Chain A
Amino acid sequence: MNWLDTIVQGVLLGGLYALFAAGLSLVFGIMRLVNLAHGDLIVLAAYLILVIVSVLGISPFLAVTIALPLMFASGYVLQRVVLNRVLGEDILPPLLVTFGISVVLQNTMQEAFSADTRRLPPGDIGTASLQVAGLNIGVMPLLTFASAVLVIVVLNQIFYRTALGRAFRATSDDATTASLMGIRPSRIFAQATGIALMIVTIAALYLGMRANFDPSIGPARLIYAFEAVIIGGLGSLWGTLAGGVIIGVAQTVGAAINPEWQILAGHVAFLLVLLVKPRGLFPRAVD
């Protein structure tokens, strides 16, 4: 067994988990909202891409460019119409509502698409691989990881270099004072959720091309995403990538020792990190 190979596979797998998690991290960082429907929204986005692929007969990579604005709009409306109403001091209502959305999404997708497993056609790229330093690295995992890094770089640029990002941070600090700056918190939150659902769409692209999916797999993706966010430290996007990588490496190493240990090893790594650093690896200084 080649340990280096195992670890590289794990790191690249971590890119997928980071993509699952980045939207969750963004939304939590800005409005302290844990969206329990996050995993199901990833699956929904995968079906949306699938529908576009089937109807227009185009590649998933092209279909995603159509899905992105649609998912942004869905996120914006979801936040304006539903989630903003339940945000407040009490953390329970948003949890209940997003849990309800999760159940509704799963059932609706079951009705619309049946329980059969589906796959997005990756084309030739799905089996292509590169030889690097004696390692055989799949192009698809590499692309996934590169996309995760790119997403996080772009998010950080938005966060720290744009007026929108300034408004995100200010609203997260103190929504009332932000409104004195002419900022409408409910709109800021809606834009954040819109962006989160664009990241969800990118995650869905790779989820759907790399493996089969069906309407029931959302909650497990939510767990991975959640673990990655917590390991990384709430609100830190690079931390989220690190968290994804830790879970990915733990899973591939666990699987290399015993194939049945793959999932368990990821969860154990999560617990171990929390035992050592209860606030995650890169907790934000404030809050």
Chain B
Amino acid sequence: MALLSTHGLTARYGQFQALFGVDIELGEGECVAIIGANGAGKTTLMRSISGVLRNAPASVRLRGEEIGALPADEVMKRGISMVPEGRRLFPSLTVEENLLIGGQVRKGSGYWTLERIYALFPILAERRRNAGTALSGGQQQMVAIGRALMANPDVLLCDEISLGLAPVVIKDIYKAVPLIRESGASMIVVEQDIGQALKVADRVYCMMEGRVTLSGRPEELTREAIHAAYFGVQHA
């Protein structure tokens, strides 16, 4: 049985339908990447899994348990943490408080503690008393990742952790992925950078216009197949 799976997942914003029957799976210990152009529905999928958007109960399952209709706080308590798009640090909280609040309701008994987050991202220890929003974009992203890890989640959802960051910073952030996986978290990584996604993931799903258009292991996917799934059929 998959650790996490979606089953015919749909989502709408008022009249607008953003997801049309999405089926994805995340195995225990796996890292899966979701790629797709702007507006493909990647963030909507993350929001649906995390409970920010509510769904039919059976449309999302965690170890078989139907969690699709649960509110976000209940989903989180069951072990799914999210690094949301745009990082969304709490401006009224310091860096350290932003980290602490991630493990305040659910601590888990896993690897991650404040000290281990600081060991992973030493710059955050230096800035612990700063307002979270006073940091650079890359440092804020580290806080957002650390905040989600503080709950010792079984599933970590990362929505565009490299967006708007310089290549060296992206490298720093992706260096954390192997350790996160070793700590026992399975991951879903939303990534616009196809090269990065193919490097980090065991499997890739490509989305377009609210549907999964392609999936497979990085070594199975050809450039042409990805191109077609990403942009649709090209009429030259």
Contacts and interface: CB of A to CB of B under 8 A. Distances in A.
Q: Give the residue among B81, B92, B102 with the most A Cβ atoms within 10 A.
A: B92
Contacts of B72: 176, 179-180
Contacts of A170: 90, 92-93, 101
A147 B196 CA distance: 59
Given A170-B92, A173-B90, A286-B91, A181 B52 contact: no
Contact of B101 (A166, A172, A176, A286): A166
A6 B106 CA distance: 54
A13 B151 CA distance: 47
A173 B91 contact: yes
A200 to B, nearest CB: 25
Interface of A: 163, 166-167, 169-170, 172-174, 176-184, 286
Interface string B38-59: 0000000000001110000000
B117 to A, nearest CB: 15
B234 interface: no
25 contacts: A166-B93, A166-B100, A166-B101, A167-B101, A169-B93, A170-B92, A170-B93, A173-B90, A174-B90, A177-B84, A177-B90, A178-B90, A178-B101, A179-B76, A180-B50, A180-B73, A180-B84, A181-B76, A181-B101, A181-B105, A182-B77, A183-B73, A183-B101, A183-B105, A286-B91
Nearest to A185: B73
A179 B90 contact: no
Given A169-B92, A170-B93, A174-B90, A179 B101 contact: no
Nearest to B86: A177
B52 A180 contact: yes
Nearest to B144: A177
Contacts, number: 69
B91 A182 contact: no
Contact of A169 (B52, B88, B90, B105): B90
A156 to B, nearest CB: 14
Given A180-B81, A184-B73, A286-B91, A167 B104 contact: yes
A228 to B, nearest CB: 22
Nearest to A168: B92
B88 A182 contact: no
Interface string B92-104: 1100010011101
A176 B51 CA distance: 10
B164 interface: no
A263 B151 CA distance: 54
Contacts of A173: 90-93
A184 B105 CA distance: 10
B49 to A, nearest CB: 11
A134 to B, nearest CB: 45
A35 B174 CA distance: 47
Contacts of B84: 177, 180
Contacts of B8: none
Contacts of B91: 173, 286
State the main secondary structure of chain A at its contact with B: helix
Contacts of B82: 180
Contacts of A167: 101, 104
B71 interface: yes
A182 B50 contact: no
Contacts of B102: 181
Given A170-B93, A173-B90, A181 B104 contact: yes
Contacts of B71: 179, 184
Nearest to B148: A180
A179 B93 contact: no
Nearest to A187: B73
A133 to B, nearest CB: 41
Nearest to B52: A176
A182 B92 contact: no
A179 B104 contact: no
A206 B88 CA distance: 43
A179 B88 contact: no
A175 to B, nearest CB: 10
A176 B52 CA distance: 7
Contacts of A166: 93, 97, 100-101, 104
Contacts of A163: 100-101, 104
B106 A182 contact: yes
Interface string B127-151: 0000000000000000000010001
Contacts of A181: 73, 76, 101-102, 104-105, 147, 151
A173 B101 CA distance: 13
Contacts of B90: 169-170, 173-174, 177-178
A190 B211 CA distance: 40
A286 B94 CA distance: 13
Nearest to B76: A182
